[in-house]
Amino acid sequence: MKLVFLVGSNPYRKRKYENFQSQQKREERCDDNSPPSAMKKLFFCFQRELDQRHDKYERLVKLSRDITIESKRTIFLLHRISSTPDTSDILAESVTKLDTVRQKIKMIAQELVGEDMHQYHRAFSPGLQEYVEAVTFQYYIQTRSLMRLDEINKQLVFPHEENEKFEEASDDNEEKGKEEQQSLSLQVTPIDYLLGIADLTGELMRMCINSVGNGDISTPFELSQFLQQIYDGFSYIGNTGPYEVSKKLYTLKQSLGKVEGACYTLKVRGSEIPKHMLADVFSSKAIIIDQDEGIS
């Protein structure tokens, strides 16, 4: 028995032919040199606006990455204070590094002129958190206290570079000159401040271990009291705050436990262990705790 298929009755060839026709019609419409309609013009405007927003977002992400790198370098520099008798040179260098970081933050403020900061907040939030960690660490080393949020934001107010030009404006343009003389600023949000302080506790724990290794017995007890106050403050927030804050509360508790364990060892077995071996004992304990937490 022979089966005969007619070409015209093949559904696959028919669909292929129809698709070819529709594609040919689309190409003809694209080749049409007729002026764009109002709807096309509107969507072209949307396209340009979205492209500009995406480009600005990427620039902010790169600036945030630079701020994070420079802030980490500042923190590593400040950790050398525990092993250096003269701390003035290290503090002076840290001030220079933080000034460089603020220039990067100023570039973010320039990008956000006329924009809603919260639309781009996720792009530069990690950099601000790292900056808060670095500047509060430096502030604690100098004053043995916690830097407030308003003090951080005061340092992030930048005057315009063209102030002198505006001062020479005529009286007719005085109001316009005042508007343009308004300084740039980028305010750290309370959430970024809290997350930066939570990260600061880890650096204070490392400072405790380093100070013990250099024979400084009083610093761990000062850090223990300071970390207990920070932990009490975070405990008041609890689960009512953002998810990131409650998540870092566990890490803060671990850092406090390590410092309290170091103080306990100093108080109970400090006379038994030589001073040059205390840092090795505490470091080995910290490594064991980190491995138990799943941190390599």
CATH 1.20.58.190 domain locations along the chain: 54-161+180-189
Mean pLDDT for 232-253 is: 81
pTM over 0.85: no
More reliable by pLDDT, 217 or 273: 217
Q: Which tens digit of pLDDT belongs to each residue from 56-103?
A: 999 999 999 999 999 999 999 999 988 777 788 999 999 999 999 999
- Fold classification of 210-296 is Methane Monooxygenase Hydroxylase; Chain G, domain 1 (1.20.58)
| φ and ψ of 270, to 5 deg | -65, -35
- Fold classification of 54-161+180-189 is Methane Monooxygenase Hydroxylase; Chain G, domain 1 (1.20.58)
Cα–Cα distances in angstroms (integers) from residue 135 to residues 130, 153, 197, in the given order:
9, 11, 10
Q: How far is C-alpha 6 from the geometric centre of its chain's CA atoms?
A: 68
Q: How far is C-alpha 108 from the geometric centre of its chain's CA atoms?
A: 12
| φ and ψ of 131, to 5 deg | -65, -45
Which amino acid is present at 64?
Answer: S
Alpha-carbon gap, residue 195 to 189, rounded angstroms? 10
Lowest mean pLDDT, pick from 65-79, 144-158, 182-196, 276-290: 276-290
Tokens of 204: 């204070």
Alpha-carbon gap, residue 95 to 72, rounded angstroms? 14
Alpha-carbon gap, residue 169 to 251, rounded angstroms? 55
CB-based contact 208:219 (threshold 8 Å): yes
Express the helix, strand and coil content of the chain in percent, nearest 5 each.
Answer: 75, 0, 20
Mean pLDDT for 12-38 is: 57
Q: How confident is the model at residue 242 (pLDDT cuts 50, 70, 90)?
A: confident
CB-based contact 183:213 (threshold 8 Å): no
Residue 214 has a pLDDT of 74
Residue 16 has a pLDDT of 52
> Mean pLDDT in the chain?
78
Q: Which tens digit of pLDDT belongs to each residue from 94-144?
A: 999 999 999 999 999 999 988 888 889 999 999 999 999 999 999 999 999
